[in-house]
């Protein structure tokens, strides 16, 4: 089965093509520290056989948190906790990435102010952000670089830059949230400038032999927003710095999104073909049949399962067993998996 074939990206070899996408568990303390709930959650998915585990949106700075209960990577004291998760998952043969994020105008955490390309609130329930100055842009870019360095020191196999869902990078990319008149706003090239500068700084602080993932929203699902054609151009601008693109959609502004199994796969497919880059497909992928369809038809290179892996951390192990696939089950479970079915 295609999903059980290994996948190689730079120095990282995944034992299968199933990914746990980053999913905020909103259970950190107010200081963004790792606790046992995080550890148990991620290590359970590793014991369940997930090839690549991407740790949830982890804030590069305090006012870059989505909520008061997001994980943080803004200071070196966060490294040991994050390292514990990475090592715990690696023990079971999973590879581990961490998603680094600045929430921009979607920060709901306690903070003196929030930052965004333009001073426009997401809606009436959010604060009006401060328009980020060029000096603050420089500062935030350095924070991305420091976060990458910490992720490397914590032993992560890969790093994902969160460029999706209407957080800071995505706010720069979308014409809905970026009304700037300087070199960071206006044309697509200008709106991509912040992302490009972030990726440059991250690359300086992240080992070149380890993969760098970029998560994007391929479309804002709104006529005045980003379209997949725009995202294709952006990926073409940054693909020399990115090893795989994790293709999601939406989140910049409220939009009507028609959802159905695999509803975002077409965007992963377009970016894969038009930009000639590996992609991860995500969004309501819950069955072996759909995974086979996506991988078999080469519509994406990897498949992420979010809520399904929340419901069933053992999806991979069970699918291997149900299909008689040779599989290296965790030692303690071997009595239940005596050989090929």
Q: What tokens appear for 4 in the block?
A: 């059980």
Q: Is 300 in the site for ligand FMN (CB under 6 A)?
A: no
Q: Which stretch in 18-26, 74-82, 219-227, 328-336 sits in contact with ligand FMN by CB under 6 A?
A: 18-26
What length is written for the chain?
A: 341
Residue among 164, 226, 242, 280 that touches ligand FMN (CB under 6 A) = 164
User: Is 14 or 57 the residue whose CB approaches ligand FMN more closely?
Assistant: 57
Beta strand ranges found along the chain (DSSP E): 7-9, 12-14, 18-20, 52-59, 71-72, 95-101, 115-116, 130-131, 158-163, 212-217, 244-248, 279-282, 302-304
130/107 Cα distance (integer angstroms): 12
Residue among 22, 51, 225, 313 that touches ligand FMN (CB under 6 A) = 22
User: Is 17 or 180 the residue whose CB approaches ligand FMN more closely?
Assistant: 17
Residue among 61, 62, 99, 146 that touches ligand FMN (CB under 6 A) = 99
**Which residue shows structure tokens 């069955």?**
287
Q: Which stretch in 19-27, 134-142, 169-177, 323-331 sits in contact with ligand FMN by CB under 6 A?
A: 19-27
Q: Is 150 in the site for ligand FMN (CB under 6 A)?
A: no
Q: Is 21 in the site for ligand FMN (CB under 6 A)?
A: yes
DSSP letter (8 states) at residue 130? E
User: Is 101 or 178 the residue whose CB approaches ligand FMN more closely?
Assistant: 101
Residue among 225, 278, 306, 313 that touches ligand FMN (CB under 6 A) = 306
- Cα 53 to chain centroid distance, Å, stands at 10
Q: Is 248 in the site for ligand FMN (CB under 6 A)?
A: yes
60 φ, ψ to 5°? -80, -15
Q: Is 217 in the site for ligand FMN (CB under 6 A)?
A: no
Q: What tokens appear for 122 in the block?
A: 């997401």
Q: Is 215 in the site for ligand FMN (CB under 6 A)?
A: yes
CB of 341 to ligand FMN, least distance (A): 27
CB of 261 to ligand FMN, least distance (A): 9
**β-strand pairing of 7-9 with 18-20:** unpaired
Dihedral sign for Cα atoms in the order 29, 35, 36, 39:
positive
Span 307-326, contacts to ligand FMN by CB under 6 A: 307-308
Residue among 57, 213, 214, 216 that touches ligand FMN (CB under 6 A) = 57
Residue among 78, 283, 313, 319 that touches ligand FMN (CB under 6 A) = 283
Half-sphere exposure at residue 335, Cβ-oriented, CA atoms within 13 angstroms: 1
Nearest to 59 by CA among 89, 22, 19, 21: 22
327/95 Cα distance (integer angstroms): 16
Residue among 3, 7, 56, 235 that touches ligand FMN (CB under 6 A) = 56
Report the interface residues with ligand FMN, using CB under 6 A. 21-24, 56-57, 99, 162, 164-165, 215, 248, 282-285, 305-308
């Amino acid at each position: 089965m295609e999903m059980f074939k290994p996948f190689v990206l730079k120095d990282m070899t995944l034992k299968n093509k199933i990914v746990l996408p980053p999913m905020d568990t909103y259970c950190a303390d107010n200081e963004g520290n790792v606790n046992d709930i995080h550890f148990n959650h991620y290590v359970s998915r590793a014991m369940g056989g997930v090839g690549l585990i991407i740790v949830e949106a982890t804030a590069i700075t305090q006012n870059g948190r989505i909520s008061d209960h997001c994980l943080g990577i803004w200071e070196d004291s966060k490294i040991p906790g994050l390292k514990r998760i990475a090592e715990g998952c690696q023990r079971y043969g999973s590879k581990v990435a961490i998603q680094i994020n600045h929430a921009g105008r979607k920060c709901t955490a306690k903070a003196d102010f929030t930052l965004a390309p333009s001073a426009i609130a997401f809606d009436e329930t959010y604060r009006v952000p401060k328009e980020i100055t060029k000096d603050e842009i420089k500062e935030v870019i350095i924070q991305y670089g420091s976060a990458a360095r910490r992720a490397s020191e914590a032993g992560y196999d890969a790093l994902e830059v969160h460029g999706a869902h209407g957080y800071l990078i995505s706010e720069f990319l979308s014409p809905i949230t970026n009304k700037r008149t300087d070199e960071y706003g206006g044309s697509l090239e200008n709106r991509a400038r912040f992302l490009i500068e972030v990726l440059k700084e991250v690359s300086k602080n992240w080992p070149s032999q380890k993969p760098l993932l970029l998560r994007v929203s391929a479309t804002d699902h709104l006529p005045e927003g980003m379209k997949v054609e725009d995202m294709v151009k952006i990926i073409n601008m940054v693909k020399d710095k990115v090893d795989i693109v994790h293709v999601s959609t939406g989140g910049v502004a409220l939009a009507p999104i028609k959802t159905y199994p695999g509803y975002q796969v077409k965007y992963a497919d377009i970016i894969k073909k038009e930009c000639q880059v590996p992609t991860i497909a995500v969004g309501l992928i819950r069955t072996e049949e759909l995974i086979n369809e996506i991988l078999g038809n080469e519509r994406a290179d990897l498949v992420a399962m979010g809520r399904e892996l929340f419901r069933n951390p053992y999806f991979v192990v069970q699918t291997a067993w149900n299909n008689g696939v040779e599989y290296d089950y965790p030692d303690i479970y071997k009595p239940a998996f005596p050989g090929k079915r």
